[in-house]
């Protein structure tokens, strides 16, 4: 999954020219080590696949009609979602119609934020039993709500033309290639050095318009190199997606309509219900206020708003039912009953009071509580419009994909989890090869395991050859990136700290950021 980053990249195009500039550079991969003069059939298939996938990855958008069967390793279960005329841009933005069983809804995704507007019956199909427990589903009926915490796939992410191209093209795992000597740049002498493969890739032609790569079958027009259908399996974390869909690459004006439609929805998304997001237990904690008498006995009920996710802004709405038991039995007419609606912002608690009255003498009293709930994700109009603006700029920005050498397996796995690309696909900006690009145009570099052993006293050992390479590349990256940020994702916390120190020593803290991401 392509990760969002910090500041957008803007490339000025001609007045009214919203078409993404198609820039395709292919590097010939080495031939088989078998000693043949001509490239093998597998390498010829690889070259053809690169042409098709790079054409797809640099298209502003693609339209899909097909289905995704999803299955999770955890309690979220499995299902199949069909979609028609689903338009997805290169910035993980999407709009279209989705169907789950016989139920249908409208799907939208802004960057990595997914929403649907659907009848309650679709939510009943989508949510598992635990997710529906105590959930107030009435506000979901044909209203825009976030599916972030449900099992519904994020179609803008898995079907983003660039993300899908990287997923299909990634043949590093399962049949790891034999690798030759290190390439001179970038990363020579570091754990993320690249090497040309010397073994055939597991790719083959099926006729003159289809390539089979791993579990994927990619059908394309031999003349235009436009992909027309993809079928295969994508594994992402605990999820497995079986994808079968037609593909129609779309011009920039179609992507532009998606962003215009999203701006029209902003008001409906400022406080979006988020089923599947629940509060940490205990939600309700009673506390006796003062002394109980036969006339009255008051309790304060503290209501928690601490969600199980820690990267969210919003609130919970609770429909409370508060009452009492006297002598271990329901108080009935003798006791009070309260039914407040309580709003609690995430990370805070709220308190509501309920008082039992007309109590029998010499009796014990105990508080009882029940509730329904619904979480809401809150944002501002300015923040949501900025996110749409950033995504639009990234979609209209020229991106050049090139083939380069492979990283070693551990580094390749780490990088693919960040960028969505195999290590041998790189983003060329200026004279530098970056590992990936964010949904807002920021350029990404990934640092896999193996750097911390070269750290001494919190800094990279000056006697290690990689230290000078890293220092030199900071300047090269900033120059190539121009007016966008360079973002480092680092597998080891010690290496992240050492990279921040190196960035500071080079005076580039305004242009380069380093984050520990395990």
Same domain, 508 and 444: yes
Same domain, 413 and 301: no
Residue 364 lies in a domain: yes
Same domain, 37 and 75: yes
Same domain, 340 and 256: no
Q: Give the global pTM.
A: 0.84
Tell which residue, 191, 229, 192, has the closest CA to residue 210. Answer: 229
Residue 2 lies in a domain: no
Helix 252-269 vs helix 381-395: crossing angle, to nearest 10 = 170
Residue 23 lies in a domain: no
How many domains are contained in the chain? 3
Question: d(Cα 109, Cα 94) in Å, to the nearest integer?
Answer: 5
375 near 283, Cβ under 8 Å?
no
Same domain, 162 and 223: yes
Residue 7 lies in a domain: no
Residue 6 lies in a domain: no
Same domain, 215 and 105: yes
Question: d(Cα 335, Cα 367) in Å, to the nearest integer?
Answer: 10
- List all residues 6 or more positions away from 462 whose beta carbon is below 8 Å from its beta carbon: none
| E strand residue ranges, 314-398 | 314-326, 329-330, 341-345, 349-357, 365-378
pLDDT digits (tens), the chain, 518 positions: 455 443 322 222 222 222 233 333 344 444 444 444 567 888 888 888 999 999 999 999 999 999 999 999 887 789 999 999 999 999 899 999 999 999 999 999 999 899 999 999 999 999 989 899 999 999 999 999 999 999 999 999 999 999 999 999 988 776 778 888 999 989 999 999 999 988 888 888 888 899 999 889 999 999 999 999 999 999 988 899 999 999 999 999 999 999 999 999 999 999 999 999 999 999 999 999 999 888 889 999 999 999 999 889 999 999 999 998 887 776 654 567 899 999 999 999 999 999 988 888 877 888 999 999 999 999 999 999 999 999 998 898 889 999 999 999 999 999 999 998 999 999 999 999 999 998 878 999 999 999 999 999 999 999 999 999 999 999 999 999 999 999 999 999 999 999 999 999 999 999 999 999 98
Same domain, 246 and 169: yes
Same domain, 120 and 238: yes
What is the DSSP annotation of 278-331? Answer: -BPSP-EEEEEES---SSEEEEEEEEE--BS-SS--EEEEEEEEEEEEETTEE-
Among 349, 378, 407, the domain-final residue is 378
Same domain, 205 and 87: yes
Among 235, 267, 299, the domain-final residue is 267
Among 200, 233, 267, the domain-final residue is 267
Question: d(Cα 243, Cα 171) in Å, to the nearest integer?
Answer: 17
pLDDT value at position 11? 23
Same domain, 344 and 451: no
Residue 14 lies in a domain: no
Residue 237 lies in a domain: yes
Q: Which domain holds residue 115?
A: 29-267
Residue 416 lies in a domain: yes
Question: d(Cα 153, Cα 406) in Å, to the nearest integer?
Answer: 30
Same domain, 77 and 226: yes
Same domain, 336 and 192: no
Tell which residue, 236, 247, 249, 245, has the closest CA to residue 67. Answer: 245
């Amino acid at each position: 999954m392509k990760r969002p980053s910090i500041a957008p990249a803007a490339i000025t195009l001609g007045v009214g020219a919203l078409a993404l500039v198609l820039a395709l550079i292919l590097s010939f991969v080495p031939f088989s080590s078998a000693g043949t003069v001509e490239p093998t059939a597998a390498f010829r298939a690889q070259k053809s696949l690169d042409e098709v996938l790079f054409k797809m990855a640099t298209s502003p958008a693609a339209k899909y009609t097909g289905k995704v069967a999803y299955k999770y390793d955890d309690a979220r279960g499995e299902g199949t979602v069909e979609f028609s005329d689903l338009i997805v841009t290169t910035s993980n933005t999407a709009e279209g119609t989705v169907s789950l069983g016989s139920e249908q809804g409208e799907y939208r995704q802004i960057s990595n934020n997914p929403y649907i507007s659907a009848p309650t019956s679709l939510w009943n199909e989508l949510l598992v039993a635990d997710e529906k427990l105590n959930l107030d589903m009435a506000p979901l009926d044909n209203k825009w709500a976030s599916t972030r915490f449900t099992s519904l796939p994020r179609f803008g992410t898995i079907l983003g033309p660039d993300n899908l191209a990287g997923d299909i093209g990634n043949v590093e795992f399962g049949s790891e290639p034999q690798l030759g000597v290190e390439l001179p740049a970038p990363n020579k002498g570091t754990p993320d050095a690249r090497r040309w493969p010397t073994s055939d890739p597991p790719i083959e032609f099926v006729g003159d318009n289809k390539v089979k790569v791993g579990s994927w079958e990619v059908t394309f027009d031999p003349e235009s190199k436009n992909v027309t259908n993809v079928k295969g399996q994508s594994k992402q974390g605990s999820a497995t997606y079986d994808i079968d869909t037609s593909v129609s690459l779309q011009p920039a004006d179609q992507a532009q309509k998606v962003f215009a439609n999203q701006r029209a929805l902003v008001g409906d998304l400022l406080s979006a219900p988020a089923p599947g997001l629940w509060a940490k237990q205990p939600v309700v904690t009673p506390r006796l206020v003062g002394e109980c008498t036969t006339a009255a006995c008051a309790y304060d009920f503290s209501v928690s708003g601490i969600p199980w996710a820690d990267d969210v802004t919003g609130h919970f709405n609770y429909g409370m039912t508060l009452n009492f038991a006297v002598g271990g039995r329901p108080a009935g007419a003798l006791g009070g009953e309260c039914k407040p609606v309580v709003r609690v912002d995430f990370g805070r608690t709220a308190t509501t009071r309920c008082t039992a009255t007309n109590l029998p003498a010499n009796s014990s009293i105990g508080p009882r509580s029940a509730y329904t709930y619904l979480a809401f994700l809150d944002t501002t109009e300015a923040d949501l419009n900025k996110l749409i603006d950033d995504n639009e700029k990234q979609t209209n920005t020229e991106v050049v994909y090139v083939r380069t050498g492979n990283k070693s397996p551990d580094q390749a796995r780490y990088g693919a989890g960040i960028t969505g690309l195999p290590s041998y696909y790189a983003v060329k900006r200026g004279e530098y090869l970056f590992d990936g690009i964010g949904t807002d145009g920021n350029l990404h570099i990934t640092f896999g395991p193996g750097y911390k052993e070269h750290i001494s006293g919190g800094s990279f050992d000056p006697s290690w050859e990689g230290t000078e390479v890293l220092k030199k590349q900071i300047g090269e990256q900033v120059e190539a990136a121009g007016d966008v940020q360079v973002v480092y994702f680092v597998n080891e916390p010690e290496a992240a700290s050492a990279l921040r120190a190196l960035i500071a020593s080079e005076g580039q803290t305004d242009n380069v950021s380093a984050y520990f991401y395990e």
